[in-house]
Chains A and B, each alone.
Chain A
């Protein structure tokens, strides 16, 4: 069935360094890829998304890249800050019918001051 694999499960970086989280999807019909950030005890919140007709998208310190041939996409956070510490989830969706997401299992990012 449809699957999204996310790595790593935990990631620790020094403040100011970059962080990269990678996801691989199985459904070749997937064409929309959102990323969510979830702080402890809070709701998941969308931080960036990318459509399949785009290879890269940036929003300040956050960027997402997509390789449709290899069926993987990545989240890049530059100049990390302590407030970036959270769990990050990737998801993949195909845009026909029900618009269901398949989520990755999450990456716990710790930014060390």
Chain B
């Protein structure tokens, strides 16, 4: 099992460009999450999908959209990238049926916006 796979690992964009970050999990998990990690600010939730077919905003959703394509895949889209969106993006998943199951993280996507 690969766990949670994120692509790409690195990306450089120009301001105004669009980009989709991909995330897939092979653990048959119900819930999936997108976080951004900035120095000194921990992990902040952008969007989440509690189950297939549902998505909801987290703490910092502005400038992002998501799609829960199927149970395995949850993508994050930047429609018009801004320098403030330079960050490391992590996708996570959890089983969702046992409330005490932890979230499992992917390796992250390092995104720079010039």
Interface of A with B (CB < 8 Å)?
6, 9, 32, 34, 36, 42-46, 49, 51, 89, 93, 95-101, 103-106
CA gap between A45 and B50 in the complex, in Å: 21
Task: Please tell me if the beta carbons of B90 and A44 are within 8 angstroms of each other in the complex.
Answer: yes
CA gap between A32 and B40 in the complex, in Å: 24
Interface of B with A (CB < 8 Å)?
31, 33, 40-45, 48, 50, 56, 58, 90, 94, 96, 99-100, 102-108
| Residues of B contacting A97 in the complex (Cβ-Cβ under 8 angstroms) | 50
| Residues of A contacting B48 in the complex (Cβ-Cβ under 8 angstroms) | 98, 100
* Distance (whole angstroms) from the CB of A41 to the closest CB of chain B: 8
Task: Please tell me if the beta carbons of B105 and A44 are within 8 angstroms of each other in the complex.
Answer: yes
| Residues of A contacting B40 in the complex (Cβ-Cβ under 8 angstroms) | 9, 105-106
| Residues of B contacting A98 in the complex (Cβ-Cβ under 8 angstroms) | 31, 48, 50, 56
> Can you list 25 A-B pairs with a CB-CB distance of less than 8 A?
A6-B42, A32-B100, A34-B103, A42-B107, A43-B90, A43-B105, A43-B106, A43-B107, A43-B108, A46-B103, A49-B102, A51-B100, A89-B43, A93-B99, A96-B99, A98-B31, A98-B50, A99-B31, A100-B33, A100-B45, A100-B48, A103-B43, A104-B42, A105-B41, A106-B42
CA gap between A78 and B95 in the complex, in Å: 31
| Residues of A contacting B56 in the complex (Cβ-Cβ under 8 angstroms) | 98
Contact of A99 among B58, B96, B108 (CB under 8 A): B96
Take A43-B107, A49-B102, A95-B99 as given contacts and tell me if A100 and B42 are in contact as well, using a CB distance cutoff of 8 Å. no
* Distance (whole angstroms) from the CB of A23 to the closest CB of chain B: 11
Which of B42, B99, B103 has the most chain A CB atoms closer than 10 A to its own CB?
Answer: B42
